Amino acid sequence: MLKWKRNKQKGLREMTTYWFSICYLIVIWGFAIYAQIVSVGLNTFTLLLSALFFTLYFCLSLVQDRSSIYQWVLFLLVVVVTLTFWTPSFNGFLFLIILMIAKQAIDQLQGWNLYIHLFLQYVIVISSSVITQDFMLFSFLTLLVVLMGFLIFVWKRTEQTYILLNDRHDQLQSDFRKLKRQVVTNEKNVRQEERNQIAREIHDSVGHRLTALLMQLEVARLQTTNPTFQDKFNRFKSLAQVSLDETREAVKALKSEETAGLTAIIQLIRKLEAESHLRVSFHIQSGALSFPLSNKQSVTVYRAVQEALTNMMRHSEMKQAKIDFSVVGDHFFRFQISHSLEHKIQLREGFGLKEMRERLEQLGGSLGINQIEGEFRLIGTFPAERGEE
């Protein structure tokens, strides 16, 4: 979720930077045109080159994924600017425009392509001072370019460090969630082991003693001929049998999970909701809560909800989700996870969704995914089984 937000913020920053560059170039170009009108006047050639420059500049965004074409467009921009405003004396507006083109090169080009392009721009900037043999201007421009190159280097290194820290933060957060889930699982396992140990002790001590008591009561009943004592022994035997049955039920309950079926699933989702800072609302239709699910079915439903909420955090900035549980025709269990979307996404089934689909198909069910009216829905259906596996 945080990574998605950062990507969105990065996109907004890039869009803001792009429009700032356009506006800044228009202002610089306007001053450069004005300076040329004052010095030599305006001609049609200058207007044509101006139109060509901004046409090429707008084309940059269309070819930014193709490095070679992008590099040629940048080179043509430098050539057009040079032809439009080059003079034997230093032209500050030409220098500013070339700096804006250099910024575009730094954002998109890498390695030797970037270095060659920046070197060509440097040659163009100092060409006027070389032709006029103005050593002081040449030195000033060279030192200025070196300083700006150093600042750009520091900026790029800082940006890389920022990206690395964000990646580490995402990794640490992911590890924290995994550890938190592992702690919950370990606590559950330890608690269940303690319950199993108590169940074994009850079974081995109380259960065996009650069984021995039943046998002794039966022997005593058979040995006595007094009807009154036989009747009492029968009552004692019935009482002992009831106690033994209740003990066995208690042992069975201790060995089983603390909760089962949909109730256990909801509890697990609540834990996931707390650790992921989500808000999940449940809508349980009549019959779904009391409908027994096997252990395999319960695990499938929980994993499906977990994967759906994980995908929501990746693709949507929303923190609210709705989960519906229902029973269709008393024979099929149905669950639906839905949340809002700002825009339609192109969802590719990764490992999580494929595993979810396979789990449901193993139960004889199916998985449906759709996006309707700004809402993403994941729907799972499978035949319900009565009783535990």
Express as a percent the part of the chain with pLDDT over 90: 1
What's phi and psi for 293, nearest 5 deg? -120, 145
Average pLDDT over residues 296-310: 82
Beta strands per DSSP E along 109-165: none
Average pLDDT over residues 238-246: 77
Q: Which of 117, 45, 144 is nearest to 86 (CA)?
A: 45
Average pLDDT over residues 10-26: 78
> Average model confidence (pLDDT) for the chain?
78
Q: What is the largest CA-CA distance in the chain?
A: 138
pLDDT tens profile 369-381: 888 777 888 899 9
Residue 257 tokens, joined: 């999970």
93 has a pLDDT exceeding 80: yes
Every domain of the chain and the residues it spans? 2-133, 197-255, 261-383
Q: Which of 17, 25, 4 is nearest to 100 (CA)?
A: 25
pLDDT tens profile 276-302: 677 888 888 887 877 777 777 888 888
Amino acid letter for position 215? M
**Beta partners for residue 334, in sequence order:** 326, 381
Q: Quick one: pLDDT at residue 301? A: 86
Complete DSSP assignment for 219-261: HHHHH---HHHHHHHHHHHHHHHHHHHHHHHHHHHHHS-SS-H
Residue 369 tokens, joined: 């995914």
Q: Residue 133, exposed/middle/buried by CB under 10 A (0-12, 13-18, 19+)?
A: exposed
Q: Which of 19, 21, 16 is nearest to 99 (CA)?
A: 21
The full length of the chain comes to 389
36 has a pLDDT exceeding 70: yes
- pLDDT band at 308; cut points 50, 70, 90: confident
The C-alpha atoms of residue 117 and residue 99 are separated, in whole angstroms, by: 12
Q: Residue 63, exposed/middle/buried by CB under 10 A (0-12, 13-18, 19+)?
A: middle
272 or 387, greater pLDDT: 272
CB neighbours (10 Å) of residue 287?
A: 13
Average pLDDT over residues 356-368: 88
35-52 CB burial, b ≥16 within 10 A, e <16: bbeeeeeeeeebeebbeb
Q: Which of 286, 285, 293 is nearest to 263 (CA)?
A: 293
Beta strands per DSSP E along the chain: 279-284, 320-328, 332-340, 366-372, 375-383
- pLDDT band at 387; cut points 50, 70, 90: very low
Q: Quick one: pLDDT at residue 80? A: 87
Please say whether the beta carbons of 307 and 347 come within 8 A. Answer: no
The C-alpha atoms of residue 133 and residue 89 are separated, in whole angstroms, by: 11
Please say whether the beta carbons of 45 and 17 come within 8 A. Answer: no
Give the CA distances from residue 344 to residues 315, 348, 374, in Å, rounded to whole numbers and listed in that order. Answer: 10, 13, 7
351 or 218, greater pLDDT: 218
- pLDDT band at 389; cut points 50, 70, 90: very low
Average pLDDT over residues 231-247: 79
- pLDDT band at 8; cut points 50, 70, 90: low
- pLDDT band at 388; cut points 50, 70, 90: very low
DSSP 3-state of 314:
helix
Please say whether the beta carbons of 138 and 236 come within 8 A. Answer: no
Give me the sheet containing 366-372, strands edge to edge: 279-284, 320-328, 332-340, 375-383, 366-372
Which of 77-91, 104-118, 229-243, 306-320 is predicted least confidently? 306-320
- pLDDT band at 315; cut points 50, 70, 90: low
**Beta partners for residue 321, in sequence order:** 280
- pLDDT band at 261; cut points 50, 70, 90: low
DSSP 3-state of 389:
coil
5 has a pLDDT exceeding 60: no
Q: Quick one: pLDDT at residue 75? A: 85
Please say whether the beta carbons of 312 and 279 come within 8 A. Answer: no
| Among 127-136, 149-158, 229-238, 328-337, the range of highest mean pLDDT | 328-337
Q: Is the dihedral of CA 247, 252, 253, 258 positive or negative?
A: positive
Q: Quick one: pLDDT at residue 316? A: 66
304 has a pLDDT exceeding 80: yes
DSSP 3-state of 250:
helix
pLDDT tens profile 61-76: 788 778 788 888 888 8
Q: Quick one: pLDDT at residue 284? A: 87
Express as a percent the part of the chain with pLDDT over 70: 86
272 has a pLDDT exceeding 60: yes
The C-alpha atoms of residue 52 and residue 57 are separated, in whole angstroms, by: 9
Q: Does domain 261-383 have CATH number 3.30.565.10?
A: yes
